[in-house]
Structure 1
Amino acid sequence: MLPVRNPNLAYALLLVLLIVAGFVPVFILNPSHQNIAILILMAAQMGVAWNIVGGYAGQISLGQAAFYGIGAYTSTLLFAHTGLNPWLAMLAGGVVAALVSVVIGWSCFRLKGHYFAMATIAVAEIIQIVFTNWEFAGAAVGLTLPIDKQGWAVFVFDSKVPYYYIALGLLLVTLLANFIIERSYYGYYFRAIKDEPDAARSLGVNLRKYKLIAFAVSSFFTALGGSFYAQKELYIDPASVLGTGLSIKMALVSILGGIGTLFGPVLGAGILTLIDEGTRALFGGSGRGTDLIIYAALIIAVAVYYPNGVLGWFNNLMARRRAVSLQAARGEHQ
């Protein structure tokens, strides 16, 4: 089913913002400001990808950085050692991450709740240690992409603008995948597994199968984001693409914006990225960790006062206003 009938104001507003986003490089000419816009799009894409497994299926994975890193390393190694086109290498990274996620999920989905979350953290730490000690993958030193020319063929540019549009395109593709999932029977199964797993099982839903599907799709798109990061920075190491903080940020983006919603992660990405860049600009090196303190405060506030996230709060606010208006209209007729 195509566009939602009578979309609420929040969805309409965010759709307009996405359209406006296409014109950002035309009005923002400062490369540093363009880079911030790219970082917002990258964080949004990671959050939207995480939302498939964590938001819709309700499986809180805190080790998604493992698949981000797998995508980054796979595409980089393929390009460096085989000369494979970086665009194809990006897709290969996504496929490898999806296959690895199925292997991991087959065991980890025997666990439930916080046990599953802890297992994903442990797996991500193991993968980070493996890459830190794997000489072929550069070990702790990392890898630099061997670039001798620029252009679309090699995914390397001397301007931020092409990277911006690629990041925007990647976000839109990931959003489209979420949109299709949300309105397909997969989406209904995912939400049933999240809300009433026992009832879903009694109705014949294969819980492990659909959890694995959600995990694999989420990991695929997460790996695409990692591959894009590698091509943008032209250098990766275990700390930058496999760190635990990256996994936490993926989850925070969705939780803050509105977990289990289509555009919630986009909103959360904008808020968190601006906080991150703002604290760096304000405090510099002396304020290291300040952004994490603010993240924690925001998440506590959301958990206590707005459990449905900023987007959920906005929707509730508009619903209350409509209810007040409707009540006032009824009073006038009486």
Structure 2
Amino acid sequence: MAAAGPVRSVLKRALAAIVVLAVLAFPLVFARPFPRHVMIMIFLYGALATAWNVLAGYCGQISLGHAVYFGIGAYTSTLLIREAALTPWLGMPAGAALAVLVSQVIGYPVFRLRGHYFAIATIGVGEIVQTLFINWDWAGGARGLFVPIKRPDSLLNLQFHESKAVYYYIALGLLALALGVTHWLERSRRGYVFRAIREDQDAAASVGVHVAREKHVAIAVSAALTALGGTFWAQYVLFIDPESVFPLSLSILISLVAVLGGVGSLWGPVLGAAILVPLSEGTRVLLGGTGKALDLVIYGALIMLIAVFQPSGVIGLARRFRRDRRQATGAAQASSA
């Protein structure tokens, strides 16, 4: 039994290595566009849900307006490409910086609210921003904006018309960045502070935590990571409009991915994306126009099922199964002794 621990550790590392190699080799094995597209969407929504998880899962501030930061990232990079001919690689940090600035402006009034009132306020902010962009002619208005097509394919311009393989690795990089930042926060002193605010912000304040400042830090990190995803999306589809980058349905989908996998955990949002994105994309392809809005029905049903039967998500279910198995093993060993 003493060797069980090291053996289990070696098996875990071997399994992790196999998964990493499989992910890296996927676009080399599956050359068809659709499987690559599904994986790109898994990485993108995994990154977006991980960003949302920083604010909602760790700090306890449930935002239903995160499409604001996604859209800001998409519009900032696209406008810089169109008006100043800048590379999207400069548009990414510019969009992230603007998203952080907007998040701080939004945070001052909405962080005075708690619970459901905070969530409702973020919905209102999202609707206001979407309406503004619909009516702003300088940003394309309701017609939207096309990203100028650059040829030949180039990493500098972040455009690849012949193959989605490079998009695959860039999306994977965004997910790795979001996970890396979250992992660092999770293990840092600030991560403990975030969780203290989530559990009881009055108690956290009573022991010296500057609650307002920490909330602003959480939303800044979350907004910046979300904006990076928006820039990537704009370059991937080469067209944006207020209905595609600012809708409430996008904010709900981002939050649902995290909730399905398990909020407040590192890998929960990734698991949620791995479950929900193929379901959504498969429904869209199989049913086409006849399945219009069916994805919203699926999202609503999943929200109800998770809320009633498994509030801690897939991660919570796995942890409970592992705990029950350990208890059963311990009981069996005790009875045999």
TM-score, normalised to structure 1, is 0.94
RMSD: 1.8
Aligned to 2:307: 303
Secondary structure, in 3 states, of the residue corresponding to 1:151? coil
2:28 is equivalent to residue 26 of structure 1: yes
Q: Check conservation: 1:10, 1:311, Cα contact below 8 A.
A: no
Aligned to 1:35: 37
Amino acid at match of 1:91: P
Distance across 2 between alignment mates of 1:115 and 1:281: 37
Amino acid at match of 1:256: L
Provide closer, same or farther for how the CA distance between residues 197 and 19 of structure 1 changes in structure 2, counting only shifts above 3 A.
farther
Q: Check conservation: 1:10, 1:315, Cα contact below 8 A.
A: no
Secondary structure, in 3 states, of the residue corresponding to 1:293? helix
Match of 1:275 among 279, 285, 292: 279
Matches within 5 A, 1:9-20: 17-20=19-22
Distance across 2 between alignment mates of 1:208 and 1:11: 40
Q: Check conservation: 2:150, 2:157, Cα contact below 8 A.
A: no
Segments of 5+ residues of structure 1 without an aligned counterpart are none
Aligned to 2:105: 103
Aligned to 1:289: 293
Distance across 2 between alignment mates of 1:57 and 1:96: 22
Amino acid at match of 1:270: A
Match of 1:124 among 123, 126, 145: 126
Question: CA offset at residue 14 of structure 1?
Answer: 7.0
In the TM superposition, structure 1's runs of 4+ consecutive aligned residues that sit over 6 Å from their partners are: 9-15
Q: Check conservation: 2:134, 2:141, Cα contact below 8 A.
A: yes
Amino acid at match of 1:171: L
Secondary structure, in 3 states, of the residue corresponding to 2:165? helix
- Paired residues in the alignment total 328
Secondary structure, in 3 states, of the residue corresponding to 2:150? coil
Q: Check conservation: 2:197, 2:204, Cα contact below 8 A.
A: yes
Distance across 2 between alignment mates of 1:237 and 1:144: 9
TM-score, normalised to structure 2, is 0.94
Segments of 5+ residues of structure 2 without an aligned counterpart are 1-5
Provide closer, same or farther for how the CA distance between residues 175 and 42 of structure 1 changes in structure 2, counting only shifts above 3 A.
same
Aligned to 1:146: 148
Distance across 2 between alignment mates of 1:52 and 1:10: 26
Aligned to 2:53: 51
Match of 2:236 among 216, 232, 237: 232
Provide closer, same or farther for how the CA distance between residues 189 and 16 of structure 1 changes in structure 2, counting only shifts above 3 A.
farther
2:279 is equivalent to residue 263 of structure 1: no
Aligned to 1:87: 89
Q: Check conservation: 1:41, 1:171, Cα contact below 8 A.
A: yes
Question: CA offset at residue 32 of structure 1?
Answer: 1.4
Distance across 2 between alignment mates of 1:207 and 1:87: 34
Amino acid at match of 2:160: F
Aligned to 1:133: 135
Q: Check conservation: 2:260, 2:314, Cα contact below 8 A.
A: yes
Provide closer, same or farther for how the CA distance between residues 13 and 59 of structure 1 changes in structure 2, counting only shifts above 3 A.
farther
Question: CA offset at residue 84 of structure 1?
Answer: 1.6
